[in-house]
Amino acid sequence: DRDPPDHTRLRRLVAKAFTPRTVDGLGPVIDALVAESLDRIEDEGAVNVLDALAFPLPFAVISAMLGMPENDVERLRELSATIVRSLEPVPDPQIVREIVAAEIEMAERTAEAIAWKREHQADDLLTGLINVHDGDDALTDDELVSQVILLYVAGHETTVNLIGNGVYALLNDPEQADVLRRETGIEDNAIEELLRYDSPVQLTRRVTLEDYPVGGHVVPKGRFIIASLGSSNRDESVFGPDADRVRLDRPNAKQHV
């Protein structure tokens, strides 16, 4: 919800803490969490893949990356699941009230976790965000809270939906599932294609800064617009006549939005 120069300042500060080393160091953590989940799934024989893998995994990864206190994790996960509903059309006033209440509690709990982290610093992202400086500039307490919530909400929901939608798409297309098993080195392109085929987030919002011509119409300057990512990612003029099918070797899969 920021434009330059405010957004530029925040991005510059966060980028100083959010280094490739921080992200690369998560590889072994993610491998261990996935292996643990798959072992449990094998033991149980049949599970709901969202409950058993897709939902807990990204939240655990983000919590480990930030170095959040253990006692907050379960409640934060519940609050995050409520807040992400604000990314969808919400016709029910009761759900709107629940989202607002969850946002308030999430902010309070995050502020408490930041205060705790100031006294218990470690080699983690939250410590990095607390200590990052650009000259005399640093993140304020409110900005720290916002960055942590952003990571949970934006990073969690998208990954849950990618895993869930991707598994579902492959279960419905055994031929493409076999391609994934058989073709060495196709994994990265396959992920891009699954992102394209069934977008984890279907809508995004923008404000037009100028009159904007599209599809024979002009959207006036200053309008609040909703863009359909899911529809764009099935655009036959970009992805061809089979845009409504999964094709894991699609050459231009990375052109999704």
Q: What distance in Å separates the CA atoms of residue 204 and residue 8, rounded to the nearest whole number?
A: 20
Q: What distance in Å separates the CA atoms of residue 239 and residue 199, rounded to the nearest whole number?
A: 15
DSSP string, 99-121: HHHHHHHHHHHHHHHHHHHHHS-
Peptide bond into 5 cis (omega under 30): yes
Determine the average pLDDT of the residues in 166-181: 97
Q: What is the pLDDT of residue 64?
A: 87
Q: How confident is the model at residue 143 (pLDDT cuts 50, 70, 90)?
A: very high
Statement: residue 70 has pLDDT above 80: no
Q: What is the pLDDT of residue 1?
A: 74
Q: How confident is the model at residue 173 (pLDDT cuts 50, 70, 90)?
A: very high
Helices (H) and strands (E) in the chain, counts: 13, 6
Statement: residue 73 has pLDDT above 80: no
What does the pLDDT look like over 194-249, one tens digit per residue? 999 999 988 888 899 999 999 899 999 999 998 899 999 999 999 999 999 999 99
Q: How confident is the model at residue 72 (pLDDT cuts 50, 70, 90)?
A: low
What does the pLDDT look like over 1-58, one tens digit per residue? 788 999 999 999 999 888 888 778 888 989 999 999 999 999 998 999 999 999 889 8
Statement: residue 152 has pLDDT above 90: no
Q: What is the pTM of this model?
A: 0.84
Q: What is the pLDDT of residue 204?
A: 87
